[in-house]
Amino acid sequence: MAAGEHPIAAVHQIECVAGRGIQGDRFFDFKRDYKGQITFFALEVFNELSEALAIKNLAPAVLRRNVITEGVDLNTLVGHDFELQGLTFRGMTECAPCYWMDGAFGPGAEHFLQGRGGLRAQILDGGTLRVES
């Protein structure tokens, strides 16, 4: 099944399992040392993308990243361990945009997101991440 064909589910919390991924995610136990056990995306980048492409009716979930952040420069976390809500992650690589983003979001999305498509990370210390209001 192609990435865009898997259902998107917005939830208030996720269970992160060290070295394995997010419980219930399609990439849970995908492969040993997988770089994308969890993915992060910046709300600020989503807002810039929406403005640049004049698309206002979509939610950040269409970009298929696991966690939406605010106020964090995700690219600076590549190669570093970091903590969020008491859980530890290792930033592995940029979550590079792919061709289907043009279909999921709108023409030009893949190009716009080059260099700021989010962060792929490994889960070092598991636990529950919750939506903060």
Domain segments of the chain: what residues?
3-125
Gap between the terminal Cα atoms of the chain: 34
CB atoms within 10 A of CB 81: 13
The structure tokens 């698309």 sit at: 55
The per-residue pLDDT of the chain, averaged, comes to 93
Cα separation of 8 and 66, whole Å?
Answer: 10
Cα separation of 69 and 42, whole Å?
Answer: 5
Amino acid 23: pLDDT:
96
For residue 3, pLDDT over 60 is answered with no
Cα separation of 91 and 38, whole Å?
Answer: 10
Do the beta carbons of residue 97 and residue 110 sit within 8 Å?
Answer: yes
Closest CA to 90 of 132, 38, 48: 38
Q: For the domain 3-125, what is the CATH superfamily, name and number?
A: PK beta-barrel domain-like (2.40.33.20)
pLDDT > 90: percent of the chain: 81
| One-letter amino acid for residue 75 of the chain | N
Average pLDDT over residues 77-90: 98
Q: CA angle, corner 80, sides to 23 and 27, nearest 5?
A: 25
Do the beta carbons of residue 100 and residue 11 sit within 8 Å?
Answer: no
pLDDT in tens, 38-48: 999 999 999 99
Do the beta carbons of residue 94 and residue 120 sit within 8 Å?
Answer: yes
